[in-house]
Structure 1
């Protein structure tokens, strides 16, 4: 376990996905996919390219990820945000495994046991393993550490799991790398391509242009038929795909402390003041037993104390109490416990060990005069300081864990002391201490203002009454207006979304929305301090948007096409050689652009207009182009200057190869994803 602890320190806290290829594969719609999977009919929560996925299979993936994360982060519990990230990653890995394993089998792509051993102990060690087994003193990879770990891991179940998980991820990355390289070898950048690209970029042009925008032509001048809309819709149906989404409207009844609750809290803090003010009462213990916030046992300089307390502290005697005062929805009492002369900083070195017997032995050695730094380098289990002989340098009071901090600031310069913390046993040598300054130790009793059970029940009763009287969407809307409530909206909710607006942990509301029918009212949900009642007001299923939904955007596209034809015909009937006259006749103006090459993304004054860039770079100097239709209007270009810029074919060829690699990393995996049928029904279970 000790070896695992060392490599874990170096590996860092990560949710493990190796390699750009795998990251690329997980981009896009996969991030919003999910699934769980029993083979039984009612517990299948996903399907990946014809393979049903059961809950136990999904849970196995998820449990491995969670266990690995917990080992790395040294935590026994996961917060909701981390749990959700791991659930997404588990599903994404399952998708990748099913789809890519078929590709690997078709092509005979494999990773042998010898390859894995080479990646662990050979000449080309995997970066993750190199990081884990790098000697902190030399900065060099230590192959002996890997061999030692592999020999000992079977005696430690956690170390065995850790390694098997790591090995599995490395194998996946290696498989994908091989697959990617096969595709790369099938892609070739020809000399003609490189030459064409170089020549296109050798020309930079300065030009004037005139534009007549589509907006200047009245929409009423254009007629779009239903048959044209239908034909366009059929030809471009892939552009109108949509995810399943839901729209809801809801009201929230917030539970807040009532006046009676405030009065009760004030009375409680007033009663506490009587005992808290007694000098014979241990203020720290009183706070630990009665306060709703943890006691912070620190000595503070006056400038570190809250500004509203500084005036009190400056003149108060020990055991005097300030308050009650109200701050951040909390009633507080603060008592001055001690006034001390304590250094603001200390310098120390330490040796950290987990074995108490070894700690005793090392403590006796350094107390008898042994070389502290040498023993720290050899034995300390704090790798960050061990390499420096245990030296921690100078640190402020409160920077270290409590017992360690107290030992350093309460001891004497030169002392060697031994203390226990949650990290193990520390043998500390206090090397130096700063100049003493006046510091104050405070004890603060906190009584948070919260609502009572009675208040909670009253608000729930109000929400229940509202729900009972408003069983239709019409009554709901009317009551919202009559009672001056605030109606909120959850728009375009997706089935795997985790929350609605700012509602705490409101996943259940989304699950309800995907089970309900339009105009259904929800039950009363409790999210944090709010009771919520919602109506489902809209539902769109996965597939293609209907022609009625996209009709306006299709009409706009078709209208612009016809406007372009009208404008081009108008321009061709005018004298195009005089740009100023042309601009005047079109009720436009002459604009200019400089230094534009074929690869330009946009043109100043025009925006993103590839057609304009193409026309400008293809027109000879001094000539005027034919009118070209762009995104926003029709353009005429006159080139004023052409500058030749040297561009290497080799450079362009290297750039094209880089672009090919980019396309393989992203577009190839995207193409595989699009070919697969992926059904994600995790939302029914999570």
Structure 2
């Protein structure tokens, strides 16, 4: 009994220690959620500054809220949100401090000029540009500010927008400052004038590298290593993860198709018999009511049934079962010509007053005087001529009975629109259609079956790459290889694979993933390589180097076996034909028949003597010999002043284009956020 008590005492003490350690681990795991900064993981580096999870998340949420607060629903939207977050962090850690040190600032008057539209600002235009006219709407700014006075979130959005506009303006000033440093010297201008003012014609022969068998030349491992050591900067890389993955495709079976057809036809019978079409469609998750009226011609293949008052379908097309009925119809002009006055929704009294005095004759003047939309006001309210089917339900219902000369008041969103109908064509019948659509999908039973296949594969694939490949062969699925470079948030070619990428960034080499639902399919992945080295290894770079060296050796082989230096002899030696070329200038991008070959273009346009066969030219795709037979003046002669303007503008444009990428490269940005976002 004593020994039993001793065992209980010792075991109890051990159990207490285990529980205490587990509790401590649990508390530590919560530190990030509880806000403890010492457990705030690093998600990136910018200019030597560590970017912590909390800082990234704050910026991420700020940008998301700036765009309506909606989470990204696609890989593309997620990538755009992440890219915007990194750009904002780059600005905070590099641009803003740099501008402050340089004395680049945006004073208050410039900010006000951007708000008013006097100085163009993409930030303000994105927020207050009129999508219908494309013009900046300064009146909308005033309207927003009046609402923001009592709305803290709107006020914060306004502050964020102003900061974004200030940064945009500061970047413009910096880019202008750098661009003005572009300079073109006298020799460059002279060379540019000569190049632009001459046009070359002649003939050439070519021998493609691909026509020389690889077996005729050889590249040793020593040559590959020597090239690597001499050109190491070519192989600088960003950190990457390589994975092998298999896809278990989920497709509807024949039984699924038959069962779906039975279901659709049963729904179709009820739909056809429904007295309240709107109610029926709204109660079916597959139903939708159009927001526009269309003509019979616009109904396409559905027209015959719908115009006769019958149900269209159910019909299977492009893997979707579709049935449709007319919800309502009305007579309306085929085409309407409109002018418009746009007023804030708070100006209803003014709208009613204007409606009583407005006519087709004075409407343009009233629009110029009262419309809150500056672009529309400047055009005398002219909107244009549109088919009736172009208008949404609100506008359509307001205009369906309109006649030429009518003035109609339309309450739409945050605006009041007074519409003058100056053209109304002959009325015809228009239809609003309700549609019920059932996509062909796999059943729950099929989903379970395919998931079971993926589960069996996952069990057999554990342990090694060999086991993974063997399990894939047994399951009759083909492994695919993908590489994720730093910053990638999805697997290229695998839509909806954000979770796969997130797993890969946190996995160890040899780890097998869980079963991921990607789109309609199931995916299982194996992490095969982690490469965080600054430079690609010789082994990794070898295929690229070998292709380069093979090309060089094939060039030597072709030139060595060139027995006749004449074009006809070279053509016979190459097994090719003599081809004409014409209208080649120094700025030519390609040559007909040869393709993109800058070395060939350069050699031709450097020629000063006609009728002489050139030395062999090493091109991208092959070896070339050519003979210039004509050097003519260009149709439009470039002057030295023209060339100076062109060259400086091009240099300035290139400098500004490369400005931010160069700064980002100098800041040595490292995006490690893929594991978390």
**Class of the TM-score when normalised by the shorter of the 2 chains:** 0.7 to 0.9
Residue in structure 2 matched with residue 675 of structure 1 by the alignment: 666
CA RMSD of aligned residues (A): 5.0
> What is the rounded CA distance, in whole Å, between the counterparts of 2:325 and 2:339 in structure 1?
35
1:258 touches 1:451 (CA, 8 Å); kept in 2? no
Report the CA distance shift for 1:412/1:515 in structure 2 as closer, same or farther (over 3 A). Answer: same
**1:509 Cα deviation from its structure 2 partner:** 0.9
SS in 2 for 1:242: coil
SS in 1 for 2:252: coil
Asked if 1:256 is matched to 2:247, the reply is: no
Asked if 1:532 is matched to 2:526, the reply is: no
1:205 touches 1:617 (CA, 8 Å); kept in 2? no
Residue in structure 2 matched with residue 277 of structure 1 by the alignment: 273
Residue in structure 1 matched with residue 456 of structure 2 by the alignment: 465
2:205 touches 2:576 (CA, 8 Å); kept in 1? yes
Listed one character per residue, the Cα deviations across residues 538-577 of structure 1 (whole Å, up to 9, x for unaligned) are 5544532222333344345445556656776777xx886x
Find 1:409's aligned residue among 392, 397, 400: 400
Find 1:363's aligned residue among 352, 367, 390: 352
SS in 2 for 1:508: helix
Residue in structure 1 matched with residue 57 of structure 2 by the alignment: 59
Residue correspondence of structure 1 range 60-79 to structure 2 within 5 A: 60-70=58-68, 79=73
Count of paired positions: 633
> What is the rounded CA distance, in whole Å, between the counterparts of 1:313 and 1:144 in structure 2?
45
Asked if 1:87 is matched to 2:82, the reply is: yes
TM-score in terms of structure 2 length: 0.74
Q: Report which stretch shifted further, 473-482 or 56-65.
A: 473-482
Q: Report which stretch shifted further, 83-92 or 471-480.
A: 471-480
Listed one character per residue, the Cα deviations across residues 181-208 of structure 1 (whole Å, up to 9, x for unaligned) are 5545555333233234434555555556
Find 2:262's aligned residue among 266, 275, 281: 266
1:116 touches 1:167 (CA, 8 Å); kept in 2? no
Find 1:614's aligned residue among 603, 607, 616: 603
2:491 touches 2:501 (CA, 8 Å); kept in 1? yes
**1:407 Cα deviation from its structure 2 partner:** 3.6
**1:456 Cα deviation from its structure 2 partner:** 3.8
**1:116 Cα deviation from its structure 2 partner:** 3.0
Residue in structure 2 matched with residue 296 of structure 1 by the alignment: 290
Report the CA distance shift for 1:61/1:621 in structure 2 as closer, same or farther (over 3 A). Answer: same
> What is the rounded CA distance, in whole Å, between the counterparts of 1:650 and 1:285 in structure 2?
73
Listed one character per residue, the Cα deviations across residues 30-71 of structure 1 (whole Å, up to 9, x for unaligned) are xxxxxxx9964542211111111123333343344334444x
Report the CA distance shift for 1:348/1:612 in structure 2 as closer, same or farther (over 3 A). Answer: closer
1:612 touches 1:628 (CA, 8 Å); kept in 2? no
Residue in structure 2 matched with residue 237 of structure 1 by the alignment: 232
Residue correspondence of structure 1 range 108-187 to structure 2 within 5 A: 108-111=102-105, 113=107, 116=110, 119-120=113-114, 125-126=119-120, 157=152, 160-161=155-156, 163-184=158-179, 186-187=181-182
Find 2:188's aligned residue among 182, 193, 208: 193
2:316 touches 2:322 (CA, 8 Å); kept in 1? yes
- 5+ residue gaps in structure 2? 1-34
Find 1:400's aligned residue among 381, 391, 409: 391
**1:215 Cα deviation from its structure 2 partner:** 6.9
Find 2:478's aligned residue among 487, 491, 498: 487
2:343 touches 2:351 (CA, 8 Å); kept in 1? no
Report the CA distance shift for 1:307/1:203 in structure 2 as closer, same or farther (over 3 A). Answer: closer
1:265 touches 1:447 (CA, 8 Å); kept in 2? no
TM-score in terms of structure 1 length: 0.73
> What is the rounded CA distance, in whole Å, between the counterparts of 1:240 and 1:343 in structure 2?
66
Residue in structure 1 matched with residue 10 of structure 2 by the alignment: none
SS in 2 for 1:305: helix
SS in 1 for 2:288: coil
> What is the rounded CA distance, in whole Å, between the counterparts of 1:425 and 1:143 in structure 2?
17
1:256 touches 1:451 (CA, 8 Å); kept in 2? yes
Asked if 1:550 is matched to 2:541, the reply is: yes
1:377 touches 1:387 (CA, 8 Å); kept in 2? yes
> What is the rounded CA distance, in whole Å, between the counterparts of 1:140 and 1:276 in structure 2?
47
Report the CA distance shift for 1:375/1:488 in structure 2 as closer, same or farther (over 3 A). Answer: farther
Listed one character per residue, the Cα deviations across residues 249-292 of structure 1 (whole Å, up to 9, x for unaligned) are 212241637737853773575377358526xx433333333462
> What is the rounded CA distance, in whole Å, between the counterparts of 1:479 and 1:399 in structure 2?
56
2:410 touches 2:416 (CA, 8 Å); kept in 1? yes
> What is the rounded CA distance, in whole Å, between the counterparts of 1:635 and 1:253 in structure 2?
49
Residue in structure 1 matched with residue 42 of structure 2 by the alignment: 44
1:184 touches 1:661 (CA, 8 Å); kept in 2? yes
> What is the rounded CA distance, in whole Å, between the counterparts of 1:329 and 1:612 in structure 2?
52
Report the CA distance shift for 1:680/1:598 in structure 2 as closer, same or farther (over 3 A). Answer: same
1:337 touches 1:441 (CA, 8 Å); kept in 2? yes
> What is the rounded CA distance, in whole Å, between the counterparts of 1:223 and 1:260 in structure 2?
57
2:184 touches 2:648 (CA, 8 Å); kept in 1? yes
Residue correspondence of structure 1 range 309-388 to structure 2 within 5 A: 310=304, 312-313=305-306, 325-326=315-316, 334=324, 343-345=333-335, 355=345, 358-359=347-348, 362-363=351-352, 366-367=355-356, 373=363
Listed one character per residue, the Cα deviations across residues 78-118 of structure 1 (whole Å, up to 9, x for unaligned) are 64444531321220232244234454455x33215266358
SS in 2 for 1:543: coil
> What is the rounded CA distance, in whole Å, between the counterparts of 1:112 and 1:393 in structure 2?
40
Asked if 1:435 is matched to 2:434, the reply is: no
Report the CA distance shift for 1:368/1:44 in structure 2 as closer, same or farther (over 3 A). Answer: same
> What is the rounded CA distance, in whole Å, between the counterparts of 1:336 and 1:367 in structure 2?
37
**1:513 Cα deviation from its structure 2 partner:** 2.6
> What is the rounded CA distance, in whole Å, between the counterparts of 1:487 and 1:604 in structure 2?
41
Report the CA distance shift for 1:258/1:542 in structure 2 as closer, same or farther (over 3 A). Answer: farther
SS in 2 for 1:254: coil
Q: Report which stretch shifted further, 94-103 or 47-56.
A: 94-103
**1:511 Cα deviation from its structure 2 partner:** 1.9
Residue in structure 2 matched with residue 506 of structure 1 by the alignment: 497
> What is the rounded CA distance, in whole Å, between the counterparts of 2:524 and 2:317 in structure 1?
32
**1:667 Cα deviation from its structure 2 partner:** 4.2
Report the CA distance shift for 1:597/1:40 in structure 2 as closer, same or farther (over 3 A). Answer: same
Residue in structure 2 matched with residue 22 of structure 1 by the alignment: none
**1:410 Cα deviation from its structure 2 partner:** 4.9
Q: Report which stretch shifted further, 543-552 or 295-304.
A: 295-304
Asked if 1:286 is matched to 2:275, the reply is: no
Residue in structure 1 matched with residue 19 of structure 2 by the alignment: none
